[in-house]
Homo-oligomer: A and B are copies of this chain.
């Protein structure tokens, strides 16, 4: 068995840098062997700091390098699917940021390529690896709270993205709720059969003008008759609000937000805490390390990856169904999306 995995990192934007540092310093079984970015100067600056020998503008140089076992794709979303196909064709194992693509057709083409090549694929739904949500999953998986009956996911951003981004984001259900769709499937460990999405524009009229929503409640009906609801807002003034709650036949599991410290201040006005962590990178930093470590382990130990192509596809399908439900104001069955 190979002892260490040689990886190539494609794209050194914000999330690429996080994965790069983790691979270079914090995952003993990984070796970051090469980096590529169309912005070569940026790639060199980052790679130089990490002491990486091979730094390229063109990612094909990584795919063609026989020393490289696996690639971590952190390019813009519209390149994910084609890069997956290329990497699969080159026989590289693949960790790819979410979403795979915004249409099921593109996704299916990419997943076919992966299947044919027989390489491993992991999609970057990092929240599954967060200590809070993983604990809730364990509460369900272990039977600690019995059969799941009701699920709540609260997922609110501290503030909306720029309108320019909103316009190309694919809409709230594919851009933001997609994480929560994956969380729902992860926690309950079942497919969703039907979706009903209620939405509103409450945060910023410009988001509505761009044809999108900023406030939503999405009802989920799971295959096994559990019910769930996802609460999304583009703006929680108190910070990044990331909570879930599951009621089961034998108990409930619920998580609170993460705060920068545990201090409580009591004065003549109130008993208070500092605000929860405000930035997704602070909130989820550990989860990025754990997910990539899991990918490295899956490849080296030849185990299934913990988040595969089916998971990546299902979240997108739910996003598409939610949008249709909102537009037609009716429950939409997932099988309609496949038709």
Contacts and interface: CB of A to CB of B under 8 A. Distances in A.
Interface in A218-274: 219, 221, 225-229, 231, 233, 235-239, 241, 247, 249-274
Contacts of A251: 237-238, 265-268
Given A229-B217, A274-B270, A135 B261 contact: yes
A25 interface: yes
Contacts of A268: 237-238, 250-251, 275
Interface stretch (A63-71, A85-93, A112-120, A144-152): A144-152
Interface stretch (A164-172, A194-202, A311-319): A194-202
A257 B247 contact: no
Contact of A200 (B28, B149, B250): B149
Contacts of A198: 196, 219, 221, 227
Contacts of A235: 249
Interface string A16-53: 00000000111010000000000000000000010100
A273 B258 CA distance: 15
A307 interface: no
A331 interface: yes
B202 A135 contact: no
A322 interface: no
B331 A247 contact: no
A216 B256 CA distance: 23
Given A265-B145, A265-B253, A271-B273, A152 B231 contact: yes
Contacts of A25: 24-26
Contacts of A305: none
Nearest to A237: B268
A329 interface: yes
Contacts of A276: 271
A208 B219 CA distance: 21
24 contacts: A24-B25, A132-B262, A135-B260, A139-B263, A152-B154, A198-B227, A199-B227, A200-B225, A200-B226, A202-B226, A217-B227, A217-B229, A237-B267, A237-B268, A238-B251, A238-B266, A238-B268, A251-B266, A257-B262, A266-B275, A269-B275, A271-B275, A272-B272, A330-B331
Given A202-B249, A253-B263, A270-B273, 15 more contacts: A144-B265, A149-B233, A150-B217, A196-B196, A200-B226, A236-B247, A236-B266, A237-B249, A237-B250, A237-B268, A239-B266, A256-B262, A271-B276, A272-B273, A329-B331
Interface of A: 24-26, 28, 49, 51, 131-132, 134-136, 139, 144-145, 147, 149-150, 152, 154, 156, 196, 198-203, 215-217, 219, 221, 225-229, 231, 233, 235-239, 241, 247, 249-276, 329-331
